[in-house]
């Protein structure tokens, strides 16, 4: 409880705390960041023009806080597209982006594809149907990200009154209060501290957003919260009070579909995380009973929503951002559902394991670990290796998050693949994607002639280390021999599980065919 109270105090803000927009611009420039604003849209001709005009006038012309603005549309049939173009803003149709991937419909699809379409280091998403729009809905979200490097994702919250004719009455947030908040309190208590978990305004760092999956439909907001908290921790999330937000109200039919989609995501993630166990799968239909005359009829509604993978795993995105082949192998291993059954522990030598690194920063840790090669039968030029590893880190951090870093390089200084392992109990700042200290470091070296094997090692090692129990046991290992034994055990378990899954899928396929 004390931790949650501390989070509430340190990660909850009011938009007025960031009203000095000039200071935010200075922070953005000093940090070398680019900020993109995306409006996900569907038939919003009554509001989109005003929102764009306000942002361009205040946060682009007067204060250059926003570098890029655009609309990602789900197929509007009104004048949304024409109004957007008249405002001089880029307009994208979600179906036309990443055409090599079968398109899906929904707000989550628009958000996911905007990561590919926009170039900002920080991405801001704001609903395009806000009737009382104000720049605070944008700069309020950006403020915590610029002022605190530990914050990676920011949600808005506010009062949401209902408009009934010309009257404004309290009562918004019905799905949140009746469905989402009770569920979070039961299964995800940390997230219950979010005042508005389903709010449509949020911002995040690309380095975080590109590494989590997106649900295509109504479940996108709650899915992001669960996955970000699981991957990066509750301290990576902040919330900002925007006072009041007025928007078009959903019909009871829309709320029913929304609730169904959100509940599906909540139950799916709960099962995947071992919080509940389902005896049957979830279906995509809502069953309804309607009265027609004096009789009752049975109807069904389809509620579609699928999960998109982390954008960083998409080939077109990797090509756009120039992600090297070896980093692609790491990403594949860390995010894949199944693992390659490759034996890597036979490459690990006890003499190349240091469970008590003295280093206090990244460069010191790399140097201390590279120098371990001199005491083995491998005698490379340590300074050449160290320079290569430092250059590699400047291109893209190898701090994967969860306390793990895997520096790697192809080099002629070794004749076969080599793995060096180091552990820091205090933790080292490796500029990791989750901005948390790194405790376990694995350096992978290989010559060009072993490139394919090198890529397989990177992928398999990342897949092995993404399991929390592996890291937990490595942190408690008392000797190098114990660390190797533990890695072999988990490597064997994962290989067996992968084989069992393949057999089970094969059995299902054969049953279907017969």
Identify whether 508 is part of a domain.
no
- Asked if residue 284 and residue 355 are part of one domain, the reply reads no
Q: Which residues of 260-358 form beta strands (DSSP E)? A: 285-292, 295-302, 307-308, 348-354
Identify whether 513 is part of a domain.
no
Q: What is the mean pLDDT of residues 454-461?
A: 92
Q: What is the mean pLDDT of residues 471-476?
A: 92
Identify whether 23 is part of a domain.
yes
25-75 pLDDT per residue, tens: 999 999 999 999 999 999 999 999 999 999 999 999 999 999 999 999 999
Q: What does the block give as tokens for 129?
A: 């149907």
- Asked if residue 384 and residue 291 are part of one domain, the reply reads no
What is d(CA 197, CA 220) in angstroms, rounded to the nearest whole number?
Answer: 11
Which region holds residue 75: left if phi is over 0, alpha if psi is between -120 and 50, else beta? left
- Asked if residue 336 and residue 301 are part of one domain, the reply reads no
Q: What is the mean pLDDT of residues 215-228?
A: 95
| Residue 353: C-alpha distances to residues 98, 274, 350, 371 (Å) | 44, 33, 5, 12
Which region holds residue 341: left if phi is over 0, alpha if psi is between -120 and 50, else beta? beta
Q: Which has the closest alpha carbon to 226: 257, 272, 259?
A: 272
pLDDT at 338: 57
CB-side neighbour CA atoms (13 Å) of 395:
16
Q: What is the mean pLDDT of residues 260-272?
A: 92
- Asked if residue 361 and residue 254 are part of one domain, the reply reads no
What is d(CA 47, CA 50) in angstroms, rounded to the nearest whole number?
Answer: 6
* Burial 116-140, CB ≥16 within 10 A → b, else e: bbbebbbbbbbbbbbeebbbbbbbb
- Asked if residue 154 and residue 45 are part of one domain, the reply reads yes
- For residue 279, pLDDT beyond 50: yes
Q: Which residues pair with 153 in a beta bridge?
A: 204, 237
What is d(CA 420, CA 198) in angstroms, rounded to the nearest whole number?
Answer: 44
- Asked if residue 301 and residue 361 are part of one domain, the reply reads no
Q: How many residues does the chain have?
A: 514
Identify whether 61 is part of a domain.
yes
Which region holds residue 470: left if phi is over 0, alpha if psi is between -120 and 50, else beta? alpha
Q: What is the mean pLDDT of residues 318-338?
A: 86
Into how many domains does the chain fold?
2
- Of 251, 276, 308, the residue that ends a domain is 308
Identify whether 71 is part of a domain.
yes
Q: Which domain holds residue 435?
A: 324-497
Give the pLDDT band (50/70/90) at residue 467: confident
- Asked if residue 488 and residue 366 are part of one domain, the reply reads yes
pLDDT cut 70: percent of the chain above it:
93
* Beta carbons of 74 and 41 less than 8 angstroms apart: yes
What is d(CA 110, CA 56) in angstroms, rounded to the nearest whole number?
Answer: 21
What is d(CA 248, CA 47) in angstroms, rounded to the nearest whole number?
Answer: 10
DSSP helix/strand/coil, 152? coil
- For residue 486, pLDDT beyond 50: yes
- Asked if residue 351 and residue 272 are part of one domain, the reply reads no
What is the chain's mean pLDDT, rounded? 90
In CATH, what number is assigned to the domain containing residue 281? 3.90.550.10
Q: Which residue has the higher pLDDT, 255 or 120?
A: 120
Q: What does the block give as tokens for 329?
A: 């192998």
Phi and psi, residue 344, nearest 5°: -110, -15
pLDDT cut 90: percent of the chain above it:
70
Identify whether 197 is part of a domain.
yes
- Asked if residue 75 and residue 44 are part of one domain, the reply reads yes
Q: Which residue has the higher pLDDT, 200 or 278?
A: 200
pLDDT at 337: 65
Q: Which has the closest alpha carbon to 197: 215, 177, 170?
A: 177
What is d(CA 151, CA 121) in angstroms, rounded to the nearest whole number?
Answer: 13
- For residue 249, pLDDT beyond 60: yes
- Find the angle CA(138)-CA(143)-CA(144) to the nearest 5 degrees: 125
Exposed / middle / buried, residue 47 (Cβ in 10 Å: 0-12, 13-18, 19+)? buried
In CATH, what number is assigned to the domain containing residue 425? 3.40.930.10
pLDDT at 1: 55
401-416 pLDDT per residue, tens: 889 999 999 999 999 9
pLDDT at 511: 45
Q: Which of 25-34, 127-136, 229-238, 330-339 has the lowest mean pLDDT?
A: 330-339
What is d(CA 150, CA 497) in angstroms, rounded to the nearest whole number?
Answer: 36
Q: What is the mean pLDDT of residues 119-143?
A: 96
pLDDT at 336: 73
Q: What is the mean pLDDT of residues 370-381?
A: 81
Give the pLDDT band (50/70/90) at residue 421: very high
- For residue 505, pLDDT beyond 70: no
Cα 29 to the center of its chain, rounded Å: 25
Q: Which has the closest alpha carbon to 236: 226, 244, 222, 250?
A: 226
Q: What is the mean pLDDT of residues 139-150?
A: 97
Q: Which residue has the higher pLDDT, 121 or 305?
A: 121
Q: What is the mean pLDDT of residues 113-123?
A: 98
What is d(CA 267, CA 282) in angstroms, rounded to the nearest whole number?
Answer: 9
- Asked if residue 329 and residue 301 are part of one domain, the reply reads no
Identify whether 161 is part of a domain.
yes
What sign for the dihedral angle of Cα 197, 200, 202, 208? Answer: positive
Identify whether 315 is part of a domain.
no
- Asked if residue 363 and residue 262 are part of one domain, the reply reads no
What is d(CA 349, CA 365) in angstroms, rounded to the nearest whole number?
Answer: 18
- Asked if residue 340 and residue 285 are part of one domain, the reply reads no
pTM of the model: 0.86
Q: Which has the closest alpha carbon to 423: 443, 409, 408?
A: 443
Got the DSSP string for 338-351? Answer: S------GGGEEEE
pLDDT at 247: 63
- For residue 177, pLDDT beyond 50: yes
């Amino acid at each position: 409880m004390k931790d949650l109270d501390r989070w509430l105090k340190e990660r909850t803000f009011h938009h007025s705390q960031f009203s000095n927009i000039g200071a935010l611009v200075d922070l953005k420039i000093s940090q070398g960041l680019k900020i993109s604003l995306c409006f996900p849209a569907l038939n919003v001709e009554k509001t989109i023009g005003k929102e764009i005009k306000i942002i361009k006038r205040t946060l682009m012309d007067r204060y250059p806080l926003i570098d890029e603005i655009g609309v990602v549309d789900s197929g509007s049939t009104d004048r949304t597209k024409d109004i957007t173009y008249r405002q001089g803003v880029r307009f994208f149709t979600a179906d036309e982006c990443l055409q090599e991937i079968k398109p899906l419909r929904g707000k989550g699809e628009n958000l996911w594809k905007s990561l590919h379409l926009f170039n900002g280091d920080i991405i801001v998403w704001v609903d395009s149907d806000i009737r009382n729009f104000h720049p605070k809905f944008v700069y309020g979200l950006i403020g915590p990200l610029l002022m605190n490097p530990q914050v990676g994702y920011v949600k808005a919250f506010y009062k949401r009154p209902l408009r009934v004719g010309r009257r404004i009455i309290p009562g918004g947030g019905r799905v949140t209060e009746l469905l989402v908040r009770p569920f979070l309190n039961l299964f995800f208590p940390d997230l219950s501290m979010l005042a508005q978990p389903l709010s449509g305004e949020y911002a995040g760092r690309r380095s975080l957003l590109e590494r989590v999956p997106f649900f295509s439909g109504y479940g996108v907001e709650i899915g992001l919260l669960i996955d970000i908290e699981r991957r990066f921790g509750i301290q990576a999330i902040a919330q900002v009070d925007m006072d009041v937000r007025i928007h078009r109200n959903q019909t009871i039919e829309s709320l029913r579909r929304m609730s169904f989609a959100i509940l599906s995501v909540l139950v799916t993630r709960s099962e995947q995380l071992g919080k509940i166990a389902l005896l049957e799968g979830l279906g995509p239909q809502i069953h309804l009973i309607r009265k027609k005359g004096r009789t009752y009829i049975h109807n069904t509604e389809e509620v579609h929503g699928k999960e998109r993978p982390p954008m960083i795993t998409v080939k077109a995105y990797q090509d756009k951002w120039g992600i090297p082949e070896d980093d692609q192998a790491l990403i594949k291993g860390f995010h894949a559902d199944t693992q390659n059954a490759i034996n890597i522990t036979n490459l690990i030598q006890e003499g190349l394991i240091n469970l008590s690194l003295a280093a206090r920063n990244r460069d010191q840790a790399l140097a201390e670990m590279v120098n371990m090669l001199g005491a083995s039968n491998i005698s490379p030029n340590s300074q050449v290796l160290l320079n290569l590893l430092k250059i590699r880190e400047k291109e893209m951090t190898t701090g994967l998050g969860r306390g793990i870093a895997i520096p790697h390089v192809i080099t002629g200084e070794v004749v076969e693949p080599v793995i060096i392992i180091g552990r820091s109990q205090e933790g080292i700042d490796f500029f990791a994607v989750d901005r948390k200290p790194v405790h376990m470091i694995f350096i992978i070296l290989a010559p060009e002639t072993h490139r394919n094997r090198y890529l397989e090692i990177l992928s398999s090692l990342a897949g092995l280390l993404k399991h929390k129990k592996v890291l937990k046991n490595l942190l408690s290992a008392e000797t190098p021999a114990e660390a190797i034994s533990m890695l072999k055990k988990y490597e064997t378990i994962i290989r067996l599980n992968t084989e069992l899954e393949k057999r089970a899928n094969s059995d299902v396929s054969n049953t279907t065919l017969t």
